[in-house]
């Protein structure tokens, strides 16, 4: 039977929705994504969550509630690990439990446990168990799995060609081979840029569900573009570049996104890559608190300083304050480019 699966436009939707959609659509299901984050969405999430939850988790609850009544089931995966010996934030591991407890009106949740910390066998088992909700034919599930992988690979290539996840999702069904060749940006390094181009390049660090969510991230990417900057995010860098930079850390960070943020931060703070580095962080985020500290230390150690600023957002953050700080930051970047 054809069902409508609801996807909250929050948390790791920004990385995995193309794969999830390909999987469910291949099994004949319809995918429905919640609308963009708004104040009403955040307010409804705040009402049902504990105060200690971080802003992205509160927003996730708001998105789940907004899907109530418009879909048959809501997809809330239990994301434990997406690679060997590394983990996703514990709040994402407990997400289905939180949603079941806090969102009483939600009837059915699809909550596969994604845990690849040891190997991918458990993950494959979960995929088949999820597929069996809609078909008894293992071949169909196998095809759906393959399509999900293909969709994800195309998506990652678009990100590394310089697109944001939002733009990549718009284009993912249209794969232009020339797009990658023509863009030619960021694939190996941003350091090979044309020195005559004086528009500043700003490396923006932050969890995807903050920087790509225009409401939570205060539209910072668009604002920087309007201020004449060219924005590079962690996702536009080659994974090997990020991992090599992250290896500078004395101890391997075992939070996947935290390690990637640290690696991208180290890379951006090295002279000759970007003209300024901006970190967007969520209040009450455990991993962000120490990543910010490590990057501050790195910035202080560096001899040729790359301007670095951290903006912490929560539900009370005002746009005017963020804009003032961004303008001041861009002034410092412009002055440092004259040196
Ligand atoms: S990593 Fe930070 S922002 Fe993301 S869910 Fe965990 S606590 Fe929240």
pLDDT of residue 93: 93
2-29 core/surface letters (b: 16 or more CB in 10 A; e: else): ebebbbbbbbbbbbbbbbbbbbbbbbeb
The Å distance, Cα 287 to ligand 1 centre, comes to: 7
The reply to whether ligand 1 has any atom less than 6 angstroms from the CB of 287 is: yes
Q: Cα–Cα distance between 237 and 183 in angstroms, integer?
A: 13
* Domain 190-338 class, CATH top level: alpha beta
* Nearest of 35, 148, 50 to residue 97 by alpha carbon: 50
Instruction: Please tell me the predicted confidence (pLDDT) of residue 221.
Output: 94
Is 91 touching ligand 1 by the criterion CB < 6 Å? yes
**Is the shortest distance between the CB of 54 and ligand 1 below 6 Å?**
yes
* Dist CA 253 CA 271 (whole Å): 23
259 Cβ inside 6 Å of ligand 1: no
Q: Which helix (H) or strand (E) holds 46?
A: helix 39-48
Q: How far is the CA of 290 from the centre of ligand 1 (A)?
A: 12
For 256, residues 6+ apart whose C-beta sits below 8 A from its C-beta are 81, 82, 83, 86, 87, 88
Distance 102 CA to ligand 1 centre (A): 18
Alpha-carbon torsion, ordered 208, 98, 31, 162, to 10 deg? 10
Spatial distance between the Cα atoms of 286 and 256, rounded to a whole number of angstroms: 13
**Chain length of the chain:** 339
CA–centroid distance, 314 to ligand 1, in Å, is 12
d(CA 130, CA 41): 28
Q: Which atom of ligand 1 is nearest to the CA of 90?
A: 6
Instruction: Tell me which of 49, 54, 55, 78 to substitute to probe ligand 1's pocket, judged by most ligand atoms within 8 Å of the beta carbon.
Output: 54
pTM of the complete model? 0.89
CB-hemisphere CA count at 13 Å for 221? 22
Distance set, CA 130 to CA 20, 26, 113 (Å):
11, 13, 10
Q: Is the Cβ atom of 57 under 6 angstroms away from ligand 1?
A: yes
The DSSP letter of residue 236 is G
For ligand 1, whether the C-beta of 53 sits within 6 Å is no
- The closest of 310, 286, 285 to 297, measured between CA atoms, is 310
Beta strands 4-7 and 73-75 are: parallel
> Which tens digits make up the pLDDT trace of 257-307?
999 999 999 999 998 899 999 999 998 898 898 899 999 898 888 777 899
Binding site membership of 98 for ligand 1 (Cβ less than 6 Å): no
Burial of 89 (0-12, 13-18, 19+ CB in 10 A): buried
- Verify whether ligand 1 is closer than 6 Å to residue 286 (CB atom): yes
- Separation of CA 23 from chain center: 20
Alpha-carbon Rg for the chain, nearest whole angstrom, is: 20
What CA–CA distance (Å, rounded) separates 242 from 263? 5
Q: Please report the pLDDT score of residue 242 as a whole number.
A: 94
Residue 105 makes CB contacts below 8 A (sequence gap 6+) with 65, 68, 69
Domain boundaries, the chain: 4-160, 190-338
| Residue 207 Cβ < 6 Å to ligand 1 | yes
Predicted confidence at residue 187, as pLDDT, reads 42
In this structure, the residue with its CA closest to atom 5 of ligand 1 is: 91
Would you state the torsion angle of the CA atoms of residues 226, 229, 235, 238, taken in this order, to the nearest 10 degrees?
A: 150
Q: 203 alpha carbon to ligand 1 midpoint, in Å?
A: 20
Positions of the chain with pLDDT lower than 50, given as ranges:
175-193, 195
The CATH number of 4-160 is 3.40.50.11890
**Contact partners, residue 231, CB within 8 Å, separation at least 6:** 201, 202, 204, 221, 224, 225
Residue to mutate (ligand 1; options 207, 255, 315, 317; most atoms within 8 A of CB): 207
Measure the CA–CA gap between 31 and 51, rounded to whole angstroms. 31
> Residues 27-69: pLDDT tens digits?
999 999 999 999 999 999 999 999 889 999 999 999 999 998 8
pLDDT given for residue 3 in this prediction = 93
Which of 77, 86, 287 gets mutated to test ligand 1 (max ligand atoms within 8 A of its CB)?
287
Q: To the nearest 10°, report the CA torsion of 139, 142, 143, 144.
A: 120
* Ligand 1 near 216 CB (within 6 A): no
Q: Do the first three CATH levels of 4-160 and 190-338 match, i.e. the same topology? A: yes
């Amino acid at each position: 039977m054809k069902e409508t699966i609801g996807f909250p436009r929050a948390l790791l939707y920004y990385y995995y929705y193309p794969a999830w959609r390909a999987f469910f659509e291949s099994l004949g299901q319809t995918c429905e994504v919640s609308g963009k984050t708004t104040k009403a969405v955040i307010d409804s999430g705040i009402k049902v969550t504990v105060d200690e939850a971080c802003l992205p988790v509160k927003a996730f609850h708001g998105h789940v509630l907004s899907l109530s009544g418009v879909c048959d089931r809501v997809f809330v995966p239990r994301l434990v690990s997406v690679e060997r010996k590394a983990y996703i934030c514990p709040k994402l591991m407990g997400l289905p439990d939180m949603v079941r407890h806090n969102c009483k009106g939600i009837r059915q949740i699809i909550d596969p446990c994604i845990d690849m910390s040891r190997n991918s066998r458990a993950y494959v088992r979960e995929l088949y168990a999820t597929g069996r909700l809609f078909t008894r034919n293992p071949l169909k599930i196998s095809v759906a799995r393959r399509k999900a992988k293909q969709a994800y690979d195309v998506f990652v290539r678009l990100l590394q060609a310089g697109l944001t996840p939002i733009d990549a999702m718009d284009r993912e069904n249209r794969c232009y081979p020339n797009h990658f060749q023509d863009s030619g940006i960021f694939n190996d390094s941003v350091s090979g840029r044309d020195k005559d181009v004086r528009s500043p390049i700003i490396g923006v660090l932050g969890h995807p569900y903050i920087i790509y969510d225009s409401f939570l991230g205060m539209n910072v990417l668009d604002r920087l573009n309007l201020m004449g900057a060219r924005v590079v995010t962690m996702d536009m860098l080659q994974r090997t570049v990020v991992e090599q930079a992250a290896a500078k850390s004395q101890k391997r960070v075992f939070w996947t996104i935290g390690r990637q943020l640290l690696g991208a931060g180290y890379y951006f703070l090295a002279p000759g890559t970007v003209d300024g580095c901006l970190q967007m962080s969520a209040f009450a985020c455990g991993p962000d608190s120490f990543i910010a500290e490590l990057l501050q230390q790195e910035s202080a150690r560096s001899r040729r300083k790359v301007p670095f600023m951290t903006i912490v957002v929560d539900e009370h953050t005002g746009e005017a304050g963020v804009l003032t700080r961004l303008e001041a930051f861009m002034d410092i970047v412009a002055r440092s480019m004259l040196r």
